[in-house]
């Protein structure tokens, strides 16, 4: 058996062949369908190794057919080294044998899956007539968020703000490919969120930040808080979380990493799968504020890896690699090395 390897160029080819907007729409449905199967999955908070400058994490999950994990980092200062603040790869394996069928780049894929997860949650929680979105933080993930909300949810106006004006310049330039999208450059966070139906925050600093404060909240808003995703990193003032219903992916992980890390252990939250399966209501009325405290959960990566495996196979994109030895005799691992003459007989 061979492992299919999808590298960065392959992923770019895959996005161009299949279409970014098609991938985003497909993934919204894939992630939603897997969340509806919530009880079929092994679930655990990701394994994190924290340092003063960032975090490195492994994110595993499995159902009874497939196992998946993602390796991912978060280093806000990486841009000074010309590196992405988030870098990632993922693996999809068979549960029956443990054989890895796919190894894939996941830096680009993570941006796509995060936008798809944001839209999946907003489709569930935001007002049905939502048409405007404030986008606070205009870095690497911002285009994917804007395009996904525009294409899948019908958002036709985005209001942009970033303390780095060059990031906003970059975003505006990239969104020129969507001339039907009304783009407004805001003077501040408060200016951007004023009157917005949806507020998406995708900031990068590893700090207890208060990007959104209580006085900015208006009736009926849906907050999509994406950037607060590890201990010591938040985007919402704690009092914002008291303004409405708070929804999370996997509560044990969100308690540690999300904006709700600021709140008492008994602060009430609702897991998305409970709403999707009709156990608990989502938005109760058009005046209610809904808050999605997004940290990213392994199930979303599982959905994306399975999807990448499916369409890369469909298009014949990627190449097979010998990640695992193929044996004539699986019990003779030494003999496999010996056949390759990789034995150093004379050691000084």
Cite the active site residues. Answer: 229
Question: In this structure, are residues 57 and 73 in contact, taking their beta carbons and an 8 Å threshold?
Answer: yes
- For residue 197, give both structure tokens: 């139906």
Q: Which strands make up the sheet holding 157-161, listed edge to edge?
A: 182-185, 157-161, 132-136, 198-201, 222-225, 290-293, 245-248, 270-271
Cβ-contact 276, 32 below 8 angstroms: yes
Show Cβ contacts of residue 230 under 8 Å, excluding neighbours closer than 6 positions. Answer: 48, 50, 55, 74, 206, 257, 295
- CA nearest to 198, candidates 215, 212, 208, 187: 212
SS3 of residue 248 by DSSP: strand
Cα distances from 124 to residues 29, 54, 84, 90, in angstroms, run 12, 32, 31, 27
Contact yes or no for 106/89 (Cβ under 8 A): yes
Question: How many beta carbons lie within 10 A of that of residue 343, not counting itself?
Answer: 8
Q: What is the DSSP letter of 45?
A: P
């Amino acid at each position: 058996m061979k492992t299919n390897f999808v590298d960065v160029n392959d992923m770019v080819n895959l996005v161009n062949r299949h279409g970014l907007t098609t991938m985003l729409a497909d993934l919204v449905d894939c992630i939603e369908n897997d969340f509806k199967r919530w009880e079929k999955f092994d679930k655990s908070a990701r394994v994190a190794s924290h340092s003063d400058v960032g975090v490195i994490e492994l994110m595993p999950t499995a159902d009874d057919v497939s196992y998946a994990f993602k390796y991912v980092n978060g280093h806000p200062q990486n841009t000074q080294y010309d590196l992405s603040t988030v870098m990632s790869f993922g693996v999809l394996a068979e549960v029956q044998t443990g054989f890895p069928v796919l190894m894939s780049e996941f830096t680009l894929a993570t941006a796509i899956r995060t936008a798809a997860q944001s839209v999946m949650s907003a489709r569930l929680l935001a007002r049905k007539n939502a048409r405007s979105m404030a986008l606070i933080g205009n870095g690497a993930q911002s285009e994917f968020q804007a395009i996904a909300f525009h294409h899948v949810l019908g958002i036709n106006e985005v209001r942009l703000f970033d303390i780095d004006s060059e990031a906003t310049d970059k975003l505006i330039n990239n969104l020129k490919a969507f001339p039907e999208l009304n783009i407004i450059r805001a003077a501040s966070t408060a200016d951007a969120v004023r009157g917005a139906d949806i507020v998406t925050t995708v900031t990068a600093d590893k700090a207890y930040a208060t990007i959104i404060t209580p006085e900015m909240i208006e009736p009926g808003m849906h907050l999509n808080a994406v950037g607060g995703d590890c201990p010591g990193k938040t985007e919402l003032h704690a009092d914002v979380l008291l303004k409405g219903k708070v929804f999370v992916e996997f509560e044990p992980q969100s308690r540690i990493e999300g904006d709700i890390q600021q709140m008492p252990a008994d602060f009430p939250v609702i897991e998305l799968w409970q709403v999707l399966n009709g156990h608990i209501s989502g938005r109760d009325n058009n005046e209610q504020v809904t808050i999605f405290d997004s940290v990213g959960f392994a199930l979303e990566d599982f959905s994306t890896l399975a999807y990448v495996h499916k369409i890369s196979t469909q298009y014949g994109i990627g190449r097979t690699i010998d990640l695992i030895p193929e044996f004539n005799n699986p019990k003779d691992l030494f003999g496999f090395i010996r056949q390759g003459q990789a034995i150093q007989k004379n050691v000084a």
